A and B are shown apart, each in its own frame.
Chain A
Amino acid sequence: AQKVTQAQTEISVVEKEDVTLDCVYETRDTTYYLFWYKQPPSGELVFLIRRNSFDEQNEISGRYSWNFQKSTSSFNFTITASQVVDSAVYFCALSEWGGGSNYKLTFGKGTLLTVNP
């Protein structure tokens, strides 16, 4: 079973539309962390947000907002008034204790977002 599920493989929208990227995770840990990363066509990964398992407060940063719901194990990401520059692959990731002395990051399969002018 996948630990991080991003059900939407590809999404295509027209500029200025709002778009929500879904993420569902699975873990037995009580302490864990969730992240969203953006990977533009150039390939580098850009950190967008992190959320720890004890903080269900939603967050807004400019046109970006995140909805964390432990009850449904979801951590969804919404882009408001999308722009062409938002076109990228977006990864949701789960950080859990991996044994030894390290946490490990598990990525979802990613959602390719294409924003058309």
Chain B
Amino acid sequence: GAVVSQHPSRVICKSGTSVKIECRSLDFQATTMFWYRQFPKQSLMLMATSNEGSKATYEQGVEKDKFLINHASLTLSTLTVTSAHPEDSSFYICSAPAVTGGGVMGNQPQHFGDGTRLSIL
């Protein structure tokens, strides 16, 4: 079945560091990927929609300059947390629906990466 690989699985770094998280679709092309953030014991909150070849669409309240998204190919999207601070510590999860072409069909289950646990000291 479709697999989404997310790397790294865990990052611990000092405040002020920029951290890049990769999300790859391994056996399918993903024109769209999604980035979520999950605080401990809370739900997944959609941060942004990553679109191959165009700018990402950010949800209200998410800082574009803080969370840089690049979707340069049909199989890779990256999320860079710039100048990370302790409040950015969280579990970040990417997902991709296994569809190609224009648009995301609502009935397609999202295939999720295993998540990245980011800890900023």
Interface residues of A in 1-55 (CB under 8 A from B): 31-33, 35, 37, 42-45, 47, 50, 52
Closest to B57 in A: A100
Q: Evaluate contact between B115 and A91: CB separation under 8 angstroms.
A: no
Q: Evaluate contact between A109 and B112: CB separation under 8 angstroms.
A: no
Sorting the interface of chain A by its residue count into under 10, 10 to 19, 20 to 34 or 35 or more gives 20 to 34
Give, as a whole number of angstroms, the nearest-CB distance from B99 to chain A. 10
Q: Evaluate contact between B43 and A109: CB separation under 8 angstroms.
A: yes
B residues with CB within 8 A of A: 32, 34, 41-46, 49, 57, 91, 93, 95, 102-107, 109-115, 117
A43-B117, A44-B112, A112-B41 given; name 20 further pairs at CB < 8 Å: A32-B106, A35-B109, A43-B91, A43-B114, A44-B113, A45-B44, A47-B109, A47-B110, A50-B109, A52-B107, A91-B43, A91-B44, A95-B106, A100-B57, A103-B104, A103-B105, A107-B44, A107-B45, A109-B42, A109-B43
